[in-house]
Amino acid sequence: MASTVHQDYEQLSYGGKASQWRGQHAQIIAEGATNSTGRQLTAKEAGSLVLFDVTTTLKYILPTPVIGMTFSFFTSVSVVASDTHKLYCTTGSFLKGAVTVGTIATASAAGVAANGSTHLGMSSNGSTTGGLIGSFFTVTAISTTQWAIEGFLIGSGSVATPFVTS
């Protein structure tokens, strides 16, 4: 992103002082069912907390990135070993950043990176690549082709990257 982009959006505007958002309640998106083809998230849902809330395969697909668009993801139900929790970008957009993957009660956490050029999604298998209860990450669109990602995944065993190129 070459420069700050000023966007003409509806806003909590900066007037004479500043702004606060009190009594804040996030919109929660809970798919609550297996979805291997993918639940398409929309621009209107930006700002939501999206749940991975089934033991089976659940895939979310991000909308076309618009700078500043944000989604957070939380695993409320661990995925079983034979299935995966997935997040994919739309064609032509990629994840850039890193997450840490750690395991319960063992000093094992390691950072894994998404390169912003070939990593088009992530897949957690309930063990080495995260997907256990408590996994949390946030994506924020930083251009029309890249989502910044940061967060912490809970896994088990020898942790490995959840980021995928296909």
Partner 1 sequence: MSTTAQNYEQLSYGSKASQWRGRHRAIIGDAVATRKLTAQEAGTTCLFDRAAGVVYTLPAPVAGMTFTFLTTVDATSNAYQVSTNSAAVFLLGAVEIGTIATASGASFAADGTAIVGLSSVSGETGWLTGSKFVVVALNSTQWAIHGFLIGSGTITTPFI
Asked if 10 touches partner 1 (CB under 8 A), the answer is yes
> 67: number of CA atoms within 13 Å, CB side?
11
Which of 1, 36, 133, 157 is in the footprint of partner 1 by CB under 8 A?
133
User: How far apart (Å, rounded) are the C-alpha atoms in residues 67 and 82?
Assistant: 35
Which of 100, 128, 143, 145 is in the footprint of partner 1 by CB under 8 A?
100
What does each C-alpha distance from 45 to 42, 108, 150 come to in angstroms? 5, 34, 19
User: Smallest gap, in angstroms, from Cβ of residue 86 to partner 1?
Assistant: 18
Asked if 81 touches partner 1 (CB under 8 A), the answer is no
Asked if 91 touches partner 1 (CB under 8 A), the answer is no
* Residue the block writes with tokens 């408590």: 134
**152 near 100, Cβ under 8 Å?**
yes
Find, among 95, 89, 93, 31, the residue nearest to 57 by Cα.
Answer: 31
Asked if 69 touches partner 1 (CB under 8 A), the answer is yes
Options 3-11, 57-65, 81-89, 119-127: segment touching partner 1 (CB under 8 A): 3-11
Which of 18, 37, 91, 166 is in the footprint of partner 1 by CB under 8 A?
18
N- to C-terminal Cα distance for the chain? 25
Interacting residue ranges for partner 1, rule: CB under 8 A: 7-15, 17-32, 43-44, 46-47, 49, 51, 53, 66, 68-69, 74, 76, 100, 102-109, 132-136, 152, 154
